[in-house]
Amino acid sequence: MIHGPATDTLAVAYSMVHGLTRPIHTVLSVLVGATLGAGFMYARDLVSDRRAPAPVAPVVARSEHALLDEVAEHVRREYVDPVNSGQLEQAAVEGMVASLDPHSEFLDGAAYDEMRVSTAGTYSGVGIEVAEEDGGRIAVVAPIEGSPADRAGVRAGDELLEVDGRPVVPGRLDETITRMRGLVGSHVIIVLGRKGAPEPLRFDLERSEVHVRTVRAERLPGGYGYVRVSHFSDSTPGDFDGAILEMQAAAGAAPLRGLVLDLRDNPGGVLESAVSVADSFLESGMIVRADGRTRDARFEMDATPGDLLNGAPVVVLVDGGSASGAEIVAGALRDHGRATLMGERTYGKGSVQTVMPLRDGEALKLTTSRYYTPSGRTIQAHGLEPDVRIVAKEGAARPDFRRAAGSDPEVRSALQYLRDRSLDTHVALATTR
């Protein structure tokens, strides 16, 4: 069984959307991103990255943290191993923030850098998506199309054995991924095991800029389209709109008769990107509203004119892995009567985390808002119930999103739903003439 995939970007998503095909109007002048996740190191957190004022040491009476001082002194003097004050301070901060909710987190310099690198949708590396399987095997999920690894012949299913002469250690996937990243033009040597190969394979790869594709599109029979969004990064909106326009162009500019939007196992991502995807199908109206204690935490994001499908029906596939940004898209499209949700109840992540830079290159990821769908529904802990429920058979394998969409039974069900709806429309038109 594969636990969530990760790339050598460790993508998590926290920065402002660039290059959108249409502007997104928002009262948030300081928001520069949002994300959630599990998989690409995601924790299903919808996060907003904003500039924070320079940290100011609060004036606090000693009596207010006397307990902390007392415990820290015992640890410093009596713990079996020496512990310095810096370690204790960081541990105290981490514990304090973690005690608030599952999504707030103190980020040290390395974690914060990782987050900022991953949100852009591009990074410098070799372009391998890997995951740790049961038993500790580090498997190549897929080489990213056009990346150094793809050009060199790395294949899905290969086992990653070494990076620059150092063996891959089970349970330390993050460290392995970090070693594969580096400056453009620098080299890294990886060793892979391949089924049927008599000996391990050695690849000398030159790092380059890699574009992480979050969108995969495919035409379905009968003039319908399929688009899967794995997560929302800065590059998702442009890739998403481009995929739909490309499918239409492939049919001689004929409009699609309907679309299956696959958000299964989508843990979320950049808030503005999720809003932009929803906006691709909406002419007007609210997409999401957030409420919090500060002015910056209270905002509303609205649709702008323009529907890429010109009103053609949409089915959104969701499941228990569809969270936060994916739930925003699904909730907005359903509330506006623009889409039918099919699948299983979604995860239920309805809060926003703001990323606040701290001194020394660290950051605080803090829950600052709860968000609501256009109808005022809160998703937190409830999720979204599908309009048409499809329950996976017990013991059935998870969908392989690398395979053709037409081989996926849930996609076939969604396509049949679109066909039936189209047939009903034709019958209704015929009876009114």
Catalytic residue among 104, 324, 351, 369: 324
Residue 414: phi and psi, rounded to 5, are -65, -40
Which residues are paired to 163 by β-bridges? Answer: 166, 190
How far from the centroid of its chain's Cα atoms is residue 45's Cα? 9
Catalytic residue among 349, 365, 369, 408: 349
pLDDT of residue 253: 66
CA atoms of 5 and 310, how far apart (whole Å): 35
pLDDT of residue 143: 85
CA atoms of 126 and 208, how far apart (whole Å): 7
Confidence class for position 423, pLDDT limits 50, 70, 90: low
Q: pLDDT, tens digit, for every residue of 298-333?
A: 999 999 999 999 999 999 999 999 999 999 999 999
Closest by Cα among 47, 120, 35 to 356 = 47
Catalytic residue among 335, 387, 413, 422: 335
Confidence class for position 145, pLDDT limits 50, 70, 90: confident
Q: Is 195 a catalytic residue?
A: no
Tokens of 70: 């007392």
Q: Which residue has the higher pLDDT, 145 or 9?
A: 145
- The secondary structure of 359-372 as a DSSP string is GGG-EEEEEEEEEE
**Are 231 and 266 in contact, with CB atoms under 8 Å apart?**
yes
Tokens of 317: 């596939």
> Is 74 exposed, middle or buried (CB count within 10 Å of its CB: 0-12, 13-18, 19+)?
exposed
Domain boundaries defined on the chain: 215-351+363-432
Q: Whole-angstrom distance between the N-terminal and C-terminal Cα of the chain?
A: 56
Q: Is 365 a catalytic residue?
A: no
Residues in the chain: 433
Closest by Cα among 429, 427, 428, 417 to 222 = 417
pLDDT of residue 74: 93
Q: Is 349 a catalytic residue?
A: yes
pLDDT of residue 293: 95
Strand pairing report for 187-193 and 159-163: antiparallel
- Among 22-36, 53-67, 107-121, 148-162, where is mean pLDDT lowest? 22-36
Q: Which residue has the higher pLDDT, 385 or 139?
A: 385
**Are 192 and 158 in contact, with CB atoms under 8 Å apart?**
yes
Average pLDDT taken over every residue of the chain: 82
**Are 261 and 286 in contact, with CB atoms under 8 Å apart?**
no
pLDDT at residue 363 tops 70? yes
Confidence class for position 112, pLDDT limits 50, 70, 90: confident
Q: pLDDT, tens digit, for every residue of 233-286?
A: 889 999 999 999 999 888 676 789 999 999 999 988 888 999 999 999 999 999
pLDDT at residue 123 tops 50? yes
Confidence class for position 381, pLDDT limits 50, 70, 90: confident
Pick the CATH number of 215-351+363-432 from 3.90.226.10, 3.40.640.10, 3.40.630.10, 3.40.630.30: 3.90.226.10
- The secondary structure of 243-298 as a DSSP string is HHHHHHHHTTTPPPSEEEEE-TT---B-HHHHHHHHHTT-SSSEEEEEEESSSTT-
Confidence class for position 421, pLDDT limits 50, 70, 90: confident
pLDDT of residue 354: 86
Residue 354: phi and psi, rounded to 5, are -100, 135
pLDDT of residue 397: 65
pLDDT at residue 149 tops 70? yes
3-state secondary structure of 327: helix
**Alpha-carbon torsion angle 107, 47, 182, 239, nearest 10:** 170
pLDDT of residue 42: 38
Confidence class for position 374, pLDDT limits 50, 70, 90: very high
- Among 62-71, 100-109, 234-243, 308-317, where is mean pLDDT lowest? 62-71
CA atoms of 293 and 106, how far apart (whole Å): 20
